[in-house]
């Protein structure tokens, strides 16, 4: 009985590690056509994410590499999930619009509370000449997308925000490196580019 339990446990562990490796290879790779990218899991209410966003944007522009953003709203933040749902609404209109909305929310993060998030989203929509419907997500599809991104982060071991990776599609090199100190971002990009 003990040997059988050990065998089942070993097989289960193998499948879990294979699934995790598959998740890493699916998520932590550049978009099609890019050799390098920055991938970030962020929470729109997270102060460190607010500080990291311009650094990531500037690095993406300087190196001409994409910055792939995943919403990872943390449970202790009282408006970040709703902001991520609204960001996904803008993503559906235009990926750049969704990107700009996230930056707009970071710029105004210290002013936002649950009761005025909607007014910030309405102001952003008006400035970009797009409509913001009264009910942004009537079928819950956008909330499901946010949950799927958060679940994806959970599967690869994200436990804080921001979690930042530099990812590469170059054969023979490291496929990804986690950036634990954003002041090292440019050095890590250089190392990944030169591998």
Domain-embedded: residue 54: yes
Domain-embedded: residue 81: yes
Domain-embedded: residue 134: yes
- Give the range of the structural domain holding residue 174, as residue numbers without chain letter: 28-194
Domain-embedded: residue 58: yes
3-class state of residue 39 by DSSP: strand
Give the C-alpha distances (Å, rounded to integers) separating 44 from 35, 156, 195: 27, 20, 33
Domain-embedded: residue 16: no
Contacts with 20 (C-beta within 8 Å, 6 or more apart), sequence order: 155, 156, 157
Please count the structural domains in the chain. 1
153-166 pLDDT, tens digit each: 999 999 999 999 99
For the entire predicted model, the pTM comes to: 0.86
169-183 pLDDT, tens digit each: 988 889 999 999 999
Domain-embedded: residue 78: yes
Q: Is residue 56 within 8 Å of 40, Cβ to Cβ? A: yes
* CATH number of the domain to which 124 belongs: 3.40.30.10
> What would the two tokens of residue 152 be?
């994806």
Domain-embedded: residue 162: yes
Domain-embedded: residue 34: yes
């Amino acid at each position: 009985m003990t040997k059988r339990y050990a065998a089942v446990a070993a097989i289960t562990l193998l499948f879990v590690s294979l699934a995790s490796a598959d998740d890493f290879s699916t998520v932590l790779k550049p978009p099609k056509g890019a050799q390098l990218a920055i991938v970030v899991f962020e929470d729109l209410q997270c102060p460190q994410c607010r500080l990291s966003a311009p650094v990531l944007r500037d690095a993406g522009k300087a190196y001409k590499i994409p910055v792939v953003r995943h919403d990872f709203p943390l449970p202790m933040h009282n408006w970040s999930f709703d902001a991520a749902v609204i960001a996904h609404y803008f993503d559906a209109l235009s990926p750049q619009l969704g990107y700009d909305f996230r930056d707009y929310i970071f710029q105004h993060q210290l002013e936002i509370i649950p009761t005025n998030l909607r007014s910030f989203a309405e102001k952003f929509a008006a400035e970009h000449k797009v409509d913001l419907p009264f009910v942004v997500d009537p079928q819950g599809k956008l909330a499901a997308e946010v949950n799927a991104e958060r679940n994806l982060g959970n599967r690869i071991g994200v436990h804080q925000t921001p979690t930042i990776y530099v990812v590469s599609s170059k054969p023979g090199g490291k496929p990804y490196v986690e950036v634990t100190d954003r002041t090292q971002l440019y050095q890590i990009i250089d190392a990944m580019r030169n591998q």
